[in-house]
């Protein structure tokens, strides 16, 4: 077995820090830090954490925006022997405080930007640049079997669940030579929110192999910002979700940007988009697959043109230290070429769901083959089959889990959040695809009284759910359709029979200037709504972070100005956006 699988993530970083302390480790805008200085920062934080009894399997919250501080915080927690709990700064405070409480974390690492955040936390707060108060020894070291991180994902019971992942599981994905070349000559981009486990790949495939890690500026991701950063810092290895990748391919944004290796995953990959990119980008494209419960990736397959004859393309063979089985409803192996449920095993597996033995027992089951004593399998819920050559093709889901912009969502959690609102008696949530090809969430509600407005519902949901879990469409229905067994009939609900769109809740005011008229016309066309008033909120109308990117390009064509990536989030109405554009000197 590769030697890296027997070392913890931070130990692999430390080896390169010792070998090349003056090499640049992390770059963020005009700031940078060497391997040696980063290791020293991590060591200081680790010593301070040990003063507060942080050691192996102790979970520590990390509430720091994307920055060099964030990377130092991760490494410091791991160096102390602890496991980091990523608390992404863009998520609602209530949700983050729930994670802290449920995880049992009593120590929270913060930065200057977040020191006053999460007021509900009653434990110890440590700044990321904390120094130890007393001299101390190295403390107990973590082993590959100890926890590296706990990441909370969407839960079927209405609350998120924490996936507890040991170093051994994550160490499989950072090895060079399996599905890419990871070494000191590579520059990686870190763009995923820390709460998305692909960030583990971005950070440690780089730092465990001596590469240079470039952090995306700001906290929001857009194709333009990715391309600008890739060009400015000569990024050579890039992770993208298929949603982001497809948009960039369609807009010819990948041609000539210099990336040598693309790793794509988090959603089903489109063979036509990969074929188009292969024809122009001149790079290696790898298709990655794996749930958070199995150490980020289970399979990662360098794609050849012959793979694109399959739709979706295969995800390849399991990584070293990983086992897969395709089983039927009775957990019996199915013949190659036949679909079945994909079960995962080996070193890839998480321990289970943190402090949820009930959920762990339901999802992590004994291996019926008995190949290893006490062997477990994770029941993925993915339909798959084994193609000729032993490569795996993932075909879909067996349950109500969906992916929105690469983020895993249990429809039941969103339904529970909607149903808890006082204006709602019953609720159901579906995934659907817009005419532009984007997958979104649509909520169907039975009102508890007078019908609520979209703005009411979105405002309340945004206080408890991440933006990717807040539905984009809202429909009123007199009663939820049921099957003959009394369960929600999602197929009937998808027909939309008897459902009507909820009102926005904002009085219509027509555009009063040419600039407002241009913006309103573009919104009307892009969002396919009858009319847009100057005080209508773009996201209440059904806009999403993906359509924002299209909107920016449309407005750039119409107005001849390039909007900042955050413009629609800061100015989400026609009126406020027009005022912002006018104040920047654009004339119509």
In this structure, what are the phi and psi dihedrals at residue 477, rounded to the nearest 5 degrees?
-145, 145
Compute and round to an integer the Cα radius of gyration of the chain.
Answer: 24
Q: Are 27 and 233 in contact (CB under 8 A)?
A: yes
DSSP states of 491-546 as a string?
HHHHTTTT-EEPP--S------SHHHHHHHHHHHHHHT-S---TT-BTTTTT--HH
pLDDT digits (tens, 9 = 90+) for 148-162: 999 999 887 778 999
Chain centre to alpha carbon of residue 356: 22
How do 439-447 and 473-476 pair as beta strands?
parallel
Nearest to 525 by CA among 551, 558, 563: 551
* 3-class DSSP state of 576: helix
Residues 238-259: b if buried by 16+ CB within 10 A, e if exposed: bbbbbbbbbbbbeeebbeebeb
Query: Domains of the chain by range and CATH?
Result: 1-171 (3.40.50.980), 401-501 (3.30.300.30), 514-583 (1.10.1200.10)
Chain segment 335-383, per-residue pLDDT in tens? 999 999 999 999 999 999 999 999 999 999 999 987 665 689 999 999 9
CA angle 202, 205, 211 (to 5 degrees): 100
The segments of the chain whose pLDDT lies below 50 read 1-2, 4, 586-588
Beta carbons of 457 and 502 less than 8 angstroms apart: yes
3-state secondary structure 404-472: ECCEEEEHHHHHHHHHCCCCEEEEEEEEEECCCCCEEEEEEEEECCCCCCHHHHHHHHHCCCCHHHCCC
For residue 551, is it left (φ>0), alpha (ψ between -120 and 50) or beta? alpha
Please, what is the end-to-end C-alpha distance for the chain in angstroms?
A: 65
- In contact, 10 and 77? CB cutoff 8 Å: no
pTM confidence score: 0.87
Say how many CA atoms lie within 13 Å of 327 toward its Cβ: 20
DSSP state of 306: G
């Amino acid at each position: 077995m590769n030697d890296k699988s027997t070392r913890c993530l931070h130990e692999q970083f430390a080896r390169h820090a010792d070998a090349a302390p003056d090499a640049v480790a992390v770059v963020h805008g005009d700031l940078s830090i060497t391997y040696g200085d980063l290791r020293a920062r991590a060591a200081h934080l680790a010593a301070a954490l040990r003063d507060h009894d942080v050691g192996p399997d102790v979970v520590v919250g990390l509430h720091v925006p994307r920055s060099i501080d964030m990377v130092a915080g991760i490494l410091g927690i791991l160096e102390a022997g602890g496991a980091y709990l990523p608390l992404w700064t863009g998520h609602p405070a209530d949700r983050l405080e729930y994670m802290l409480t449920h995880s049992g974390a009593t120590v929270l690492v913060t930065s200057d930007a977040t020191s006053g955040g999460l007021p509900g936390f009653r434990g110890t707060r440590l700044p990321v640049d904390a120094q130890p108060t007393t001299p101390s020894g190295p403390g107990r070291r973590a082993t590959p079997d100890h926890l590296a991180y706990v990441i909370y994902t969407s839960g079927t019971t209405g609350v998120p669940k924490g996936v507890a992942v040991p170093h051994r599981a994550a160490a499989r994905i950072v090895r060079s030579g399996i599905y890419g070349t990871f070494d000191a000559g590579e520059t990686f981009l870190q763009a995923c929110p820390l709460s998305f486990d692909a960030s583990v790949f971005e950070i440690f495939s780089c730092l465990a192999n001596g590469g240079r890690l470039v952090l995306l500026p700001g906290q929001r991701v857009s194709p333009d910002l990715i391309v600008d950063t890739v060009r400015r810092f000569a990024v050579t290895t890039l992770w993208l979700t298929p949603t982001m990748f497809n948009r960039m391919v369609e807009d010819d944004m990948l041609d000539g940007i210099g990336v040598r290796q693309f790793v794509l995953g988090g959603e089903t990959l489109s063979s036509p988009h990969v074929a188009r990119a292969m024809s122009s980008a001149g790079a290696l494209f790898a298709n990655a697959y794996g749930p958070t419960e199995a150490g980020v990736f289970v399979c990662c397959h360098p794609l050849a043109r012959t793979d694109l004859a399959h739709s979706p393309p295969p995800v390849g063979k399991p990584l070293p230290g990983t086992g897969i089985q395709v089983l039927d409803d009775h957990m019996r192996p199915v013949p190659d070429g036949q679909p079945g449920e994909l079960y995962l095993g080996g070193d890839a597996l998480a321990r289970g769901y943190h402090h949820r033995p009930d959920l762990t027992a339901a999802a992590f089951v004994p291996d019926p083959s008995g190949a290893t004593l006490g062997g477990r399998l994770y029941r993925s819920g993915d339909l798959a089959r084994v193609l000729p050559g032993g490569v795996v093709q993932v075909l879909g889901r067996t349950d109500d889990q969906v992916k929105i912009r690469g983020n895993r969502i249990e429809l039941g959690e969103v339904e529970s959040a909607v149903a808890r609102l006082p204006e709602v008696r019953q609720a159901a949530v579906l995934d659907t695809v817009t005419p532009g090809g984007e997958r979104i969430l649509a909520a169907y509600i039975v009102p508890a009284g007078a019908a609520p407005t979209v703005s009411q519902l979105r405002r309340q949901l945004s206080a408890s759910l991440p933006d990717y879990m807040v539905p984009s469409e809202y429909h009123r229905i007199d009663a939820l359709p049921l099957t003959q067994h009394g369960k929600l009939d999602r197929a009937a609900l998808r027909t939309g029979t008897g459902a009507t769109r909820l009102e926005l809740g904002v009085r219509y005011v027509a555009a009063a200037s040419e600039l407002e008229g241009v913006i309103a016309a573009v919104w009307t066309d892009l969002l396919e709504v009858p009319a847009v008033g100057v005080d209508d909120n773009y996201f209440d109308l059904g806009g999403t972070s993906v359509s924002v990117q299209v909107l920016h390009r449309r407005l750039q064509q119409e107005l001849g100005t390039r909007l900042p990536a955050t413009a629609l989030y800061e100015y989400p109405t026609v009126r406020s956006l027009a005022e912002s554009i006018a104040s920047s000197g654009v004339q119509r």
